[in-house]
Chains A and B, each alone.
Chain A
Amino acid sequence: EVQLVETGGGLIQPGGSLRLSCAASGFTVSSNYMSWVRQAPGKGLEWVSVIYSGGSTYYADSVKGRFTISRDNSKNTLYLQMNSLRAEDTAVYYCARGVLFARAYYMDVWGKGTTVTVSS
Chain B
Amino acid sequence: SYVLTQPPSVSVAPGKTARITCGGNNIGSKSVHWYQQKPGQAPVLVIYYDSDRPSGIPERFSGSNSGNTATLTISRVEAGDEADYYCQVWDSSSDVVFGGGTKLTVL
Report which A residues bind B (CB closer than 8 A).
35, 37, 44-47, 50, 58, 60, 94, 96, 99-100, 102-108, 110-113
In the complex, identify which listed stretch (B9-17, B42-50, B75-83) lies at the interface while the others stay far away: B42-50
Residue of A nearest to B86 (CB): A45
Q: How large is the interface on B (under 10, 10 to 19, 20 to 34, 35 or more residues)?
A: 20 to 34
Q: Would you call B90 and A44 a contact (CB within 8 A)? A: no
Q: Would you call B98 and A45 a contact (CB within 8 A)? A: yes
Q: Would you call B44 and A44 a contact (CB within 8 A)? A: no
Which chain B positions have C-beta within 8 A of A110? 42-44
Which 10 residue pairs across A and B have the least CB separation, nearest first? A104-B31, A105-B90, A47-B96, A106-B33, A44-B101, A110-B42, A45-B98, A106-B48, A44-B100, A108-B45
9 A-B contacts, Cβ less than 8 Å apart? A44-B86, A44-B99, A44-B101, A50-B96, A94-B43, A103-B30, A107-B35, A110-B42, A110-B43
Q: Would you call B49 and A46 a contact (CB within 8 A)? A: no
| B 65-107 to A, binary, CB cutoff 8 A, 1 in contact else 0 | 0000000000000000000101011101001111111000000
Tell me if B58 counts as interface (CB < 8 A to partner A): no
Q: Would you call B98 and A107 a contact (CB within 8 A)? A: no
| Min C-beta distance of B26 to chain A, whole Å | 14
Provide the bound-state CA to CA distance between A50 and B90, in Å: 12
Which chain B positions have C-beta within 8 A of A58? 95
Residue of A nearest to B48 (CB): A106
| Min C-beta distance of A94 to chain B, whole Å | 6
Q: Would you call A113 and B45 a contact (CB within 8 A)? A: no
Which chain A positions have C-beta within 8 A of B89? 104
Which chain A positions have C-beta within 8 A of B44? 110
Provide the bound-state CA to CA distance between A94 and B88, in Å: 16
Q: Would you call A106 and B45 a contact (CB within 8 A)? A: yes
- Contacts A94-B42, A107-B43 supplied; 12 other A-B pairs, CB < 8 Å: A35-B96, A37-B43, A44-B84, A44-B100, A45-B98, A45-B101, A96-B43, A100-B90, A103-B31, A104-B30, A104-B48, A106-B90
Q: Would you call A45 and B35 a contact (CB within 8 A)? A: yes
| Min C-beta distance of B63 to chain A, whole Å | 12
Q: Would you call B98 and A46 a contact (CB within 8 A)? A: yes
